[in-house]
């Protein structure tokens, strides 16, 4: 028997590999190459165009951090727009909040959703919640056409700024997010990794554009073992709320939402950035 390995080129000189038990599915959708695998160490996982998206073992970290930091800053959020997120993990976390009334999810590639429902029910099983409406279209176009002030929270759970994800890292997109958010609106977006230059350049550019759009724009970190370098960032931007000054740990803890990664101490800690990351954000 030959050993089967999934290998991803993190940089030209660095690779990350996982030993694979089964290559469950492979197809070329209208937008990207989709592969699902099964492994001993990470459980089932899937990749888009050869880049890791979600593994059963570490998805809780990403989905906790994209959702609960914003929700503990404004637990009164009722209307949420999720962009990307076809695996369903972000929506699953949002459905744990009883006061959320509406979750619009805009995923460009319906195949990612259907295959996640088939192979990854651990993330996809709340996509049928009655509060969720799925739209299969480009998030950039969706926000362009959405009503002003429609949402309290936007979570951008996208791929990297290449191919279909590129538009979600543009000033045009951020301006439209600002417009469709209400006065208390919060935007969380994927901010890439500070560690390898190919990702940190994108992170710097995205942050600069968000700073030009929102009065409050911060960056917070989390540890994602299967993403390049394992050190990854989200951006927090808001018209009104500062994630530290307006953090409401007592209100959030009363909701009794069980999390494996996020907690109130970590909420404060994740905004404390290493010096080299601060310098990158202050530079340019
Ligand atoms: N957590 C993952 C990560 O950062 O690697 C992202 C997960 S999720 C699968 C990303 C989704 O964003 C993909 O399914 C992709 O189809 C979707 N996507 C990319 N560009 C998009 C766009 N312009 N509009 C809507 N969805 C988009």
Dist. CA 245 → ligand 1 center (Å): 31
Report d(CA 21, CA 266) in Å as an integer: 35
Q: Using one digit for the tens of pLDDT, what is the confidence trace for 110-164?
A: 999 999 999 999 999 999 999 999 999 999 999 999 999 999 999 999 988 777 8
Same-domain pairing of 22 and 100: no
For residue 162, what pLDDT is reported?
75
Last residue of a domain, one of 23, 39, 55: 55
For residue 282, what pLDDT is reported?
86
Same-domain pairing of 142 and 267: yes
Kind plus residue range of the DSSP H or E element containing 242: none
Same-domain pairing of 264 and 176: yes
Mean pLDDT score, 42-68: 98
> Which residue minimizes the CA distance to atom 12 of ligand 1?
84
Q: Is 112 in the pocket of ligand 1 (CB under 6 A)?
A: yes
Same-domain pairing of 35 and 118: no
Dist. CA 165 → ligand 1 center (Å): 6
Q: How far is CA 183 from CA 19, 74, 177, 240, in A?
A: 48, 12, 12, 7
Same-domain pairing of 199 and 138: yes
Checking 263-266 for CB contacts under 8 A at 24+ apart, the result is: 264/72
Residue among 67, 93, 158, 189 to mutate when testing ligand 1 (max atoms within 8 A of CB): 158
Question: Phi first, then psi: what are they for 166, rounded to 5°?
Answer: -55, -45
Cβ neighbours of 160 (radius 10 Å):
19
Question: What's the mean per-residue pLDDT of the chain?
Answer: 96
Is the distance from CB of 259 to CB of 92 less than 8 angstroms? no
CATH number for the domain spanning 110: value is 3.40.50.150
Same-domain pairing of 23 and 95: no
Cβ neighbours of 95 (radius 10 Å):
19
Q: Using one digit for the tens of pLDDT, what is the confidence trace for 197-231?
A: 988 888 888 899 999 999 999 999 999 999 999 99
Q: Using one digit for the tens of pLDDT, what is the confidence trace for 238-279?
A: 999 999 999 999 999 999 999 999 999 999 999 999 999 999
- At residue 1, does pLDDT exceed 80? no
Question: Phi first, then psi: what are they for 56, rounded to 5°?
Answer: -60, -30
Same-domain pairing of 99 and 240: yes
Q: Which residues are catalytic?
A: 157
- At residue 284, does pLDDT exceed 60? no
The total domain count for the chain is 2
For residue 161, what pLDDT is reported?
78
CATH number for the domain spanning 18: value is 2.30.140.10
Same-domain pairing of 157 and 139: yes
Q: Is 105 in the pocket of ligand 1 (CB under 6 A)?
A: no
Question: Phi first, then psi: what are they for 171, rounded to 5°?
Answer: -60, -40
Owning domain of residue 12: 4-55
Q: Is 20 in the pocket of ligand 1 (CB under 6 A)?
A: no
Dist. CA 49 → ligand 1 center (Å): 11
Same-domain pairing of 134 and 273: yes
Same-domain pairing of 175 and 47: no
Same-domain pairing of 47 and 145: no
Please check if 87 is assigned to a binding site. yes
Nearest to 227 by CA among 90, 91, 59, 34: 59
Mean pLDDT score, 38-42: 98
Q: Is 107 in the pocket of ligand 1 (CB under 6 A)?
A: yes
Please check if 32 is assigned to a binding site. yes
Please check if 283 is assigned to a binding site. no
Same-domain pairing of 129 and 193: yes
Report d(CA 165, CA 138) in Å as an integer: 9
Give the pLDDT band (50/70/90) at residue 2.
confident
């Amino acid at each position: 028997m030959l050993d089967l390995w999934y290998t991803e080129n993190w940089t030209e000189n660095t690779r990350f590999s996982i030993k694979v038990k089964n290559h469950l599915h492979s197809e070329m959708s209208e937008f990207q190459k989709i592969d699902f695998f099964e492994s001993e160490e990470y459980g089932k996982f899937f990749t888009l165009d050869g880049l890791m998206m979600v593994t059963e073992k570490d998805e809780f970290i990403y989905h906790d951090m994209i959702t609960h930091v914003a929700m503990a800053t404004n637990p009164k959020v009722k209307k949420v727009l999720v962009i990307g997120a076809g695996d369903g993990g972000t929506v699953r976390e949002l459905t744990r909040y009883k006061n959320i009334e509406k979750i619009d999810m805009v995923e460009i590639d319906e195949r990612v959703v259907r295959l996640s429902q088939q192979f990854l029910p651990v993330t996809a099983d709340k996509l049928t919640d009655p509060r969720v409406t799925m739209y299969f279209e480009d998030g950039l176009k969706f926000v362009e056409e959405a009503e002003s002030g429609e949402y309290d929270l936007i979570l951008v759970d996208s791929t990297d700024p290449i191919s279909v994800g590129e538009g979600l890292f543009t000033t045009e997109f951020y301006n439209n997010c600002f417009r469709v958010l209400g006065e208390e609106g919060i935007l969380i977006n994927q901010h890439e990794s500070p560690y390898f230059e190919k990702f940190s350049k994108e992170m710097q550019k995205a942050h600069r554009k968000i700073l030009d759009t929102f009065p409050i724009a911060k960056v917070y970190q989390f540890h994602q073992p299967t993403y390049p370098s394992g050190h990854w960032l989200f951006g927090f931007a808001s018209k009104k709320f500062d994630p530290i000054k307006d953090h409401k740990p007592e209100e959030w803890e009363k909701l009794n939402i069980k999390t494996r990664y996020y907690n109130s101490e970590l909420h404060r800690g994740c905004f404390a950035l290493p010096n080299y990351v601060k310098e990158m954000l202050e530079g340019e």
